[in-house]
């Protein structure tokens, strides 16, 4: 990842992205913690505000929940559906070799819920504005009594 970050640094638009140095970070995955260094850049957004971005995260579409990878968060979510938070923390800690508390599991589930809520709100806004992304048009939609 660090060598790819160097390639991005060399090929970036230097007039748009000003190099502000490197930052150390890590990602907790199901295989363990991955530590690496990545460059941060200063740029100006559409509103004229100065912002800082990591081109590595942007180009790799890193979808994380804090410092936890999406795959690891999904494993935690699957375990939570069958076990309480405390049991989930014990299971994840023993399987992945990473310590996570019951409160940490709860925090991850809250962030996942916020993301799902945000995606659903966006889909509803698109539907209300007649900007749906589907390709099929169904004249009649039936709903069964059990809500399916």
Beta strands at 68-69 and 32-44: parallel, antiparallel or unpaired: unpaired
The answer to the question of residue 57 being in a domain is yes
CA atoms within 13 A on the CB side of 18: 7
Same domain, 58 and 74: no
Which carries the bigger pLDDT value, residue 99 or residue 145? Answer: 99
* Domain coverage including residue 100: 69-129
The answer to the question of residue 116 being in a domain is yes
Determine the average pLDDT of the residues in 39-51: 90
The answer to the question of residue 143 being in a domain is no
| Whether pLDDT at 11 is above 80 | yes
Same domain, 10 and 25: yes
Which residues touch 138 (CB under 8 Å, ≥6 apart)?
A: none
pTM above 0.75, yes or no: no
Eight-state DSSP code of residue 135: S
Phi, psi dihedral angles at 105 (to 5 degrees)? -65, -45
| Whether pLDDT at 143 is above 80 | no
Same domain, 88 and 125: yes
């Amino acid at each position: 990842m660090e060598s790819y970050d160097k390639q991005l640094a060399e090929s970036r638009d230097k007039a748009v992205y000003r190099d502000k140095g490197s930052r150390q970070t890590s990602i907790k995955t199901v295989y363990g913690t991955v530590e690496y260094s990545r460059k941060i850049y200063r740029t100006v957004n559409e509103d004229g505000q100065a912002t800082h971005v990591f081109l590595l995260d942007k180009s790799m579409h890193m979808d994380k929940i804090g410092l936890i990878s999406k795959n690891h968060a999904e494993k935690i979510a699957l375990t939570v559906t069958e076990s309480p938070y405390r049991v989930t923390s014990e299971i994840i800690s023993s399987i992945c070799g990473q310590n996570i508390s019951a409160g940490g599991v709860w925090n991850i589930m809250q962030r996942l819920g916020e993301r799902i809520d945000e995606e659903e709100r966006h889909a509803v806004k698109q539907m209300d504005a007649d900007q749906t992304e589907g390709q099929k048009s169904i004249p009649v939609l039936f709903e069964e009594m059990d809500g399916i």
